[in-house]
Structure 1
Amino acid sequence: MAQKPSIPKGTRDFNPDQVAKRRYIFNTIQEQFEQFGFQPIETPSFENSETLIGKYGEEGDRLIFKILNSGDYLSKVDDAVYSEKNSNKITAKISEKALRYDLTVPFARYVVQNQNDITFPFKRYQIQPVWRADRPQKGRFREFYQCDADVVGSQSLWQEVEFVQLYDAVFSALGLKGTTIKINNRKILSGIAEVIGAKDKLIDFTVALDKLDKIGEEKVKDEMRSKGISEEGIDKLQPLFELSGNFGAQIEKLKSILSSSEDGLKGIEELEFVDKAIQELGLKTSTLQLDVTLARGLNYYTGAIFEVSAPEEVQMGSIGGGGRYDDLTGIFGLKDVSGVGISFGLDRIYLVMEELNLFPETITESTKVLFINFGEKEALACMKAIKALRENGISSELYPDSAKMKKQMTYANRRQIPYVVIVGEEELNTNMFALKNMVTGEQEKVPIEQLIKNLK
């Protein structure tokens, strides 16, 4: 007996309804990207390993899918390396490429390679799949789409303001009300690390802090201790865990905590600029909230950090995130090019919208009208009409076989096709079409001109 086929964990097939709903989200995001002046690019699904490795921190590197070299890849591994059983050393010999982990690092590589052809500031958007060797769970997959927008070549904080507005515009257009746009600044995190005497452990500190929502305060502290952060330093963090109040109130408390850190105060100044601008401009359905424990755990952020939370009534992780990365292109040899960008988590947005029943009913419609097949002569007349309908932008099709009427009608119902056209001998002789509304059951005979008008 043949083995039942399967797909890898963390990947999915999508049926026609799901594809239609996903496309609705794609199109809505793309429309807003273009309204904000972003241009589309695409990059390969896999990159050279050296492009990706070392850009996401130790934890991120572990989640990168490596691609085996073609041919007899083990022949390049000498016996000494092979006998060590050291997977990192062997991997370097047998894998030179990897699936992209996100769209930001490939974008930085793209900018460096194409710098002479790009007009700066360069505003790009990109909607493509990425891959992570993560543990699959609700809202977390190994293959998923990211929808990114970035600006490189400008240090202006107006870009951060625009990205807050862009988040709000997209979620408003999707009907997704009550999203919270969380913001922090890497300089503030750097300042906190400095104040607690852990400046040399900034990465360890931020990786641990970023897990606060997932594992809680005590386990975050335990992880910091395990990374060598002193008990005295962890005690100094307590006001941070207890920070509350509105944006302005938190800023004032931070000024006190970070009064001795130049870096920290600079981060506060940048956050104040964004907050004041958004207060003046206003948001449609989202809320901007300061979250000083937001770290996002990625090495390349240097300024603002964003993360978007779904409405409270839905249990879901972040549905968007991003930040400022002044040094990212420097990794590839292009210095002093500042960038800032955000990403939308399409798959999680889909799950949230499904749970809140926010998809319009009409988006899953594909075929608008099905022509019933009574035989070769009738089918030819139907195909002529179908050609005319398609030329007028009406999606239509002929049932392929001359089957029983009941079977064809059942097919139309299961496909949720709203109209059926019947062309029998009488309709052929009078050059008319019997149009039936499958929802109301109403039926009328009309000429081709009226058929097109009614269906439009």
Structure 2
Amino acid sequence: MAQKPSIPKGTRDFNPEQVAKRNYIFSTIQNQFEKFGFQPIETPSFENSETLMGKYGDEGDRLIFKILNSGDYLSKVENSLFKEKDSNKITQIISEKALRYDLTVPFARYVVQHQNEIEFPFKRYQMQPVWRADRPQKGRFREFYQCDADVVGSTSLWQEVELVQLYDAVFTALGLNGTTIKINNRKILSGIAEVIGASDKLIDFTVALDKLDKIGEEKVKQEMLDKGISQSGIERLQPLFTLSGDFGSQIKELKAILNASEDGKKGIEELEFIDNAISELGLQTARLQLDVTLARGLNYYTGAIFEVAAPEGVNMGSIGGGGRYDDLTGIFGMKDMSGVGISFGLDRIYLVLEELDLFPVTVNKNIDVLFINFGDKEALYSLKAIKILRDKGFNTELYPDAAKMKKQMNHANKRNIPFVVLVGEQEMSKDAFTLKNMISGEQSEVTLDTLISTLT
């Protein structure tokens, strides 16, 4: 007996209802992207390994899916490497390409490669799948979509202000009220590392701090100790773990902590600019919250960093994130090209909307009317009407086979089709149609014009 087929862990099939709901999210996000002036691009699903490797830190590099070279990929590997059993060295020889880990680094590559064709500042959006060799769990998949919006070619903090507004606009349009847009600044984190004497371990410090909401305070401190950050330095961090209150009161405490750090003070200044602007402009349903422990473990962030939390009561990780990167294109030889961007986690947003029952009923609308098939003559008569109905914008279908009436009616019920049309010799002789409402059970003989007006 043949083995039942399966799909890899961390991937999913989507049925028609799920695809309709996902498309609803896509179209809502895309609509807001375009309202804010962002233009679409697409990049390949895989890149050269050298494009991706080394851009996300050691943890990110481990989660990149590598693609084996075509042909006899082991022929170039020396026997000595097999004996060493060093998978990293062997991988460099047998794999030259990898599936993209996110959309930001490929975007940076795109900007450098097409710099002479782009008008800067360049506002782009991109909605494509990415892949990470992560451990699958609720809300965390190995294949998932990101929906990104970035601006490159401007250092203006008004871009950060607009991105906060964009988050608010998208989640309000989705009916997802009460989201929290958390904000911090990597300059503040650099200042903190400087104050505790760990400037040379900034990456280790931010990677550990970024796990605070996942593993808790004590485990974060232990990880910092393991990475060589001193006990006395960690003790000086304690005020951060208990920092609370509104934006202004937290900023006041930060100014005292970071008084000796120019980097830290610059970060505070940038945060105050964004907060003051948002306070003046207002948000529809989201709220902006300072979170000084927010680190986001990606190495390329240099300024403001964002993370969006679902409304209270929903057990879900972040549903969006992003930040400022002053020199991301520098990794590809194009210096002084600042950018800032945010991402929407489509799959997690889907789960949140599902949990809160926020998908509109109309999302699953498929067919408006099904024509019952009684035979070839009746089918041809029906298809002439179907063509007119489709031209009028109605989703219309003819059952393909002249099956038993009960089977065709059951098909309409299972697909939640609201109307069916029956055409026999009697209807054709009168140039008419019998229309049945599948919800009320009522049916009547109608002309094509009446059929159209009923469906409208």
Shorter-normalised TM-score: what interval? Answer: over 0.9
Separation in structure 2 between the aligned mates of residue 150 and residue 186 of structure 1, nearest angstrom: 18
1:287 and 2:300 correspond: no
Q: Secondary structure of 1:318's match?
A: coil
| Paired residues for 1:49-448 under 5 Å | 49-448=49-448
Separation in structure 1 between the aligned mates of residue 275 and residue 223 of structure 2, nearest angstrom: 32
Cα deviation code 1:24-60 (max 9, x no counterpart):
0000000000000000000000000000000000100
- The CA deviation at 1:440 is 1.7
Letter of the 1:33 counterpart: F
Q: Secondary structure of 2:435's match?
A: strand
What residue in structure 1 maps to residue 26 of structure 2? Answer: 26
Separation in structure 1 between the aligned mates of residue 107 and residue 373 of structure 2, nearest angstrom: 52
Separation in structure 2 between the aligned mates of residue 68 and residue 138 of structure 1, nearest angstrom: 29
- The CA deviation at 1:136 is 0.3
Q: Secondary structure of 2:74's match?
A: helix
Separation in structure 2 between the aligned mates of residue 131 and residue 219 of structure 1, nearest angstrom: 28
- The CA deviation at 1:320 is 0.1
Of residues 24-33 and 416-425 in structure 1, the stretch that sits farther from structure 2 once superposed is: 416-425
Letter of the 1:99 counterpart: L
Letter of the 2:106 counterpart: P
Letter of the 1:160 counterpart: E
Letter of the 1:395 counterpart: N
TM-score, length of structure 2 as denominator length: 0.99
Displacement over 6 Å in runs of 4+: none
Cα deviation code 1:65-108 (max 9, x no counterpart):
00000000000111122221100000000000000000000000
Cα deviation code 1:7-32 (max 9, x no counterpart):
00000000000000000000000000
Q: Secondary structure of 1:321's match?
A: strand
Cα deviation code 1:254-312 (max 9, x no counterpart):
00000000000000000000000000000000000000000011100000000000011
- The CA deviation at 1:455 is 1.4
Q: Secondary structure of 1:74's match?
A: coil
- The CA deviation at 1:164 is 0.2
- The CA deviation at 1:444 is 1.9
Of residues 52-61 and 376-385 in structure 1, the stretch that sits farther from structure 2 once superposed is: 376-385
- The CA deviation at 1:363 is 1.1
- The CA deviation at 1:151 is 0.2
- The CA deviation at 1:446 is 1.2
Separation in structure 1 between the aligned mates of residue 248 and residue 427 of structure 2, nearest angstrom: 74
Separation in structure 2 between the aligned mates of residue 418 and residue 360 of structure 1, nearest angstrom: 17
Separation in structure 1 between the aligned mates of residue 307 and residue 228 of structure 2, nearest angstrom: 28
- The CA deviation at 1:439 is 1.3
- The CA deviation at 1:452 is 1.7
Separation in structure 2 between the aligned mates of residue 442 and residue 285 of structure 1, nearest angstrom: 43
Separation in structure 1 between the aligned mates of residue 442 and residue 182 of structure 2, nearest angstrom: 52
Separation in structure 2 between the aligned mates of residue 83 and residue 220 of structure 1, nearest angstrom: 37
Separation in structure 1 between the aligned mates of residue 438 and residue 46 of structure 2, nearest angstrom: 47
Separation in structure 2 between the aligned mates of residue 71 and residue 451 of structure 1, nearest angstrom: 61
Separation in structure 1 between the aligned mates of residue 452 and residue 397 of structure 2, nearest angstrom: 14
Separation in structure 2 between the aligned mates of residue 90 and residue 368 of structure 1, nearest angstrom: 57
Q: Secondary structure of 1:125's match?
A: strand
Aligned alpha-carbon RMSD (Å): 0.6
Q: Secondary structure of 1:73's match?
A: coil
| Paired residues for 1:1-16 under 5 Å | 1-16=1-16
Separation in structure 1 between the aligned mates of residue 247 and residue 442 of structure 2, nearest angstrom: 59
Cα deviation code 1:308-338 (max 9, x no counterpart):
0001121000000000000110000000000
Separation in structure 1 between the aligned mates of residue 329 and residue 114 of structure 2, nearest angstrom: 12
Separation in structure 2 between the aligned mates of residue 115 and residue 312 of structure 1, nearest angstrom: 43
Q: Secondary structure of 2:397's match?
A: strand
Letter of the 1:65 counterpart: F
Separation in structure 1 between the aligned mates of residue 443 and residue 188 of structure 2, nearest angstrom: 68
Cα deviation code 1:152-199 (max 9, x no counterpart):
000000000000000000000000001000000000000000000000
Separation in structure 1 between the aligned mates of residue 86 and residue 431 of structure 2, nearest angstrom: 78
Structure 2 gap segments, 5+ residues each: none
- The CA deviation at 1:424 is 1.5
- The CA deviation at 1:453 is 2.1
Q: Secondary structure of 1:367's match?
A: coil
Separation in structure 2 between the aligned mates of residue 115 and residue 346 of structure 1, nearest angstrom: 29
Instruction: Give the percent of matched residue pairs that are identical in Structure 1 and Structure 2.
Output: 79
- The CA deviation at 1:348 is 0.1
Cα deviation code 1:122-175 (max 9, x no counterpart):
000000000000000000000000000000000000000000000000000000
